[in-house]
Amino acid sequence: MKLSQILLFLALGAATLPAQTALPEAAKKKRAPAAPEGAAVPQQVVQSNSLVKVNATSQPYSLHMPWQKETPSGRRGLGVVLTGNRVLVTGQMVADATYIELELPATGQKLPAKVLAVDYEANLALLESAPSDKQQAFFAGLKPMAVDSGTRIEDKVDILQTGRVGELIKSELKIGKVLTRRYNVEGSGFLVYEANNIVRSEANSFTLPVVKGGKLVGLLLSYDSKNQVTTILPAPIIEHFLKDVADGSYEGFPSLGMELQATLDEQFRDYLGLKPDAPGVLISMVMKGGSAEKSGMKKGDILVAINGFAIDSRGDYKDPQFGALSSSHLVRGRAYVGDKVEIKVIRDGKEVTLNGELTRRKPDDYLVLPYLFDKGPRYLLMGGLLFQELSRPYLDAFGEDQRGGAILRLTRIALHPDKYEEEGRKKLVFLSLVLPTPSTQGYEKLGGQVVNKVNGKAINDLNDLADAFKNAKDSVHVVELNDFPHILYLDSFNAERDNMRLLGGAYRIGSLKRLE
Amino acid sequence: MNIRPLLSLLALALLPSALSAQPVPAPPAANQAIDTASGAWEGIVNIDVSVLMPDYREPWNAGQPSGGSGTGFLIGKNRFLTNAHVVSNATRILIRTTNDPEPHPAKIVHIAHDCDLALIEAEDGSHFDKLKPLEFGGIPQLNTEVIAIGYPIGGDRISVTRGVVSRIDFRPYSHTSVDSHLAIQVDAAINPGNSGGPVLQEGKVVGVAFQGFSGRVAQNVGYMIPVPVIKRFLKDIEDGRYDHYVDLAASDFPIENPAQAKALGTGSDGVGVMVGDVEPQGSVGDLLKIGDVILSIDENPVMNNGLVRFEGELMDMNEIVERKFAGDTIKLKYMRAGKKLEATVTLKRFDPYVRLGAQYNQRPRYIVNAGLVFQPLDRNLMDAHQMRDDTVNYVFDNFLTDKLYVERPEPVVLTNVLPDEVNTWITPYAHSIVDEINGVKIKSLKDVQTALAKKDKPFIEIILLEKNRPLVLKRELAEAAHKRIMQTYNILEDSYLGDE
CB contact under 8 A, A487 and B291: yes
Q: Judge whether residue A24 has pLDDT over 60.
A: no
Question: Which contacts (CB < 8 Å, 24+ apart) does range A169-176 have?
Answer: A169/A17, A169/A29, A169/A200, A169/A202, A170/A26, A170/A29, A171/A15, A171/A29, A171/A197, A171/A198, A171/A199, A171/A200, A172/A29, A172/A197, A173/A197, A173/A199, A173/A230, A175/A151, A175/A232
Closest residue, chain B, to A485 (C-alpha): B276
Note whether A48 and A25 are within 8 A (CB): yes
CATH fold of A2-31+43-242:
Thrombin, subunit H (2.40.10)
- Chain-centroid distance, C-alpha A2: 17
Q: In 10 A of CB B76, how many CB atoms?
A: 12
Q: In the predicted model, what is the mean pLDDT of chain B?
A: 89
For every residue of A79-110, DSSP letters joined together read: EEEETTTEEEEEHHHHTTEEEEEEE-TTT--E
- Domains, in order of start, for chain B: 38-239 (2.40.10.120), 250-346 (2.30.42.10), 365-496 (3.20.190.20)
Note whether A48 and A32 are within 8 A (CB): no
State the pLDDT at residue A203. 65
Tell me how far apart the alpha carbons of residues A72 and B331 are, in angstroms, rounded to a whole number. 61
Tell me how far apart the alpha carbons of residues B298 and A205 are, in angstroms, rounded to a whole number. 70
End-to-end CA distance of chain B: 34
- The C-alpha of A331 sits at a distance from chain B's nearest C-alpha, in angstroms, of 22
Note whether A279 and A310 are within 8 A (CB): yes
Tell me how far apart the alpha carbons of residues B297 and B317 are, in angstroms, rounded to a whole number. 8
- The C-alpha of A348 sits at a distance from chain B's nearest C-alpha, in angstroms, of 18
Peptide linkage before A436 cis (omega within 30 of 0): no
A6-15, A52-61, A412-421, B256-265: segment of lowest average pLDDT: A6-15
* 3-state percent breakdown (helix, strand, coil) of chain A, nearest 5: 20, 35, 45
Residues in chain B: 500
Name the percent of chain B lying above pLDDT 90.
75
pLDDT-based confidence at A401, cuts 50/70/90? low
Ranges of each domain in chain A:
2-31+43-242, 258-357, 365-514
User: What confidence tens digit (pLDDT) does each residue in B179-195 have?
Assistant: 989 999 999 988 889 99
**Average pLDDT of the segment spanning A138-167:** 90
CB contact under 8 A, A442 and B259: no
**Average pLDDT of the segment spanning A242-246:** 96
pLDDT-based confidence at B30, cuts 50/70/90? very low
For every residue of A306-342, DSSP letters joined together read: ETTEE--TTSEEEETTTEEEETHHHHHTT--TT-EEE
Question: Which amino acid is it at A165?
Answer: V
Tell me how far apart the alpha carbons of residues A428 and A482 are, in angstroms, rounded to a whole number. 12
Residues in chain A: 516
Note whether A487 and A479 are within 8 A (CB): yes
Closest residue, chain B, to A477 (C-alpha): B259
**Average pLDDT of the segment spanning B111-131:** 94
Among residues A24, A23, A25, A31, which one has the least CA distance to residue A45? Answer: A25
Q: Judge whether residue B336 has pLDDT over 70.
A: yes
CB contact under 8 A, A485 and B277: yes
Estimate the crossing angle of helix A405-415 against helix B390-397, to 10 degrees.
130
End-to-end CA distance of chain A: 22
Q: Judge whether residue B229 has pLDDT over 50.
A: yes
CB contact under 8 A, A271 and B472: yes
**Average pLDDT of the segment spanning B136-149:** 95
User: Is A400 within 8 Å of chain B by CB?
Assistant: no
Question: Which amino acid is it at A190?
Answer: F
CB pairs under 8 A between A and B: 93
The minimal CB distance from B473 to the residues A267, A285, A405 is found for: A267
State the pLDDT at residue B99. 80
**CA within 13 Å, CB half, A471:** 10
For every residue of B327-371, DSSP letters joined together read: T-EEEEEEEETTEEEEEEEE-B--GGGGGGS---S-PPPEEEETT
For every residue of B214-271, DSSP letters joined together read: -TTT-SS-EEEEEHHHHHHHHHHGGGSS-----B--EEEE----HHHHHHHT--TT-B
Strands (DSSP E) found in B423-497: 432-437, 440-441, 459-464, 471-474, 495-496
State the pLDDT at residue A150. 94
A330-334, A439-443, B126-130: segment of lowest average pLDDT: B126-130
User: Is B463 within 8 Å of chain A by CB?
Assistant: no
State the pLDDT at residue B1. 33
Q: CATH classification of A365-514, choosing from 3.20.190.20, 3.30.200.20, 3.40.190.10, 3.40.920.10?
A: 3.20.190.20
Q: Judge whether residue B382 has pLDDT over 70.
A: yes
Tell me how far apart the alpha carbons of residues B447 and B376 are, in angstroms, rounded to a whole number. 11
pLDDT-based confidence at B18, cuts 50/70/90? very low
Q: Judge whether residue B23 has pLDDT over 50.
A: no
State the pLDDT at residue A279. 87
Strands (DSSP E) found in B54-194: 64-76, 79-82, 90-97, 100-112, 117-122, 145-150, 159-173, 179-186
**Average pLDDT of the segment spanning A359-381:** 94
State the pLDDT at residue B98. 84
CB contact under 8 A, B469 and A261: yes
Question: Known catalytic residues of B?
Answer: 85, 116, 195
Question: Parallel, antiparallel, or unpaired: how do β-strands A110-119 and A229-234 relate?
Answer: unpaired
Tell me how far apart the alpha carbons of residues A54 and A91 are, in angstroms, rounded to a whole number. 12
* Close Cβ partners of A362 (under 8 Å, ≥ 6 residues apart): A252
Note whether B349 and B366 are within 8 A (CB): no
Mapped onto helix, strand or coil, the DSSP state of residue B300 is: strand
Give phi and psi for B114, each to the nearest 5. Answer: -70, -20
Decide yes or no: CATH 3.40.50.720 for domain A258-357.
no
State the pLDDT at residue A29. 37
Helix (H) or strand (E) holding B274: strand B273-278
User: Is B468 within 8 Å of chain A by CB?
Assistant: yes
State the pLDDT at residue A5. 33
User: Is B421 within 8 Å of chain A by CB?
Assistant: no
* Close Cβ partners of B336 (under 8 Å, ≥ 6 residues apart): B289, B291, B292, B293
Strands (DSSP E) found in A406-454: 429-434, 449-454
User: What confidence tens digit (pLDDT) does each residue in A69-91 have?
Assistant: 999 999 999 999 999 999 999 99
- The C-alpha of A436 sits at a distance from chain B's nearest C-alpha, in angstroms, of 12
For every residue of A237-288, DSSP letters joined together read: HHHHHHHHHHTSS-----B--EEEE----HHHHHHHT--TT---EEEEEE-T
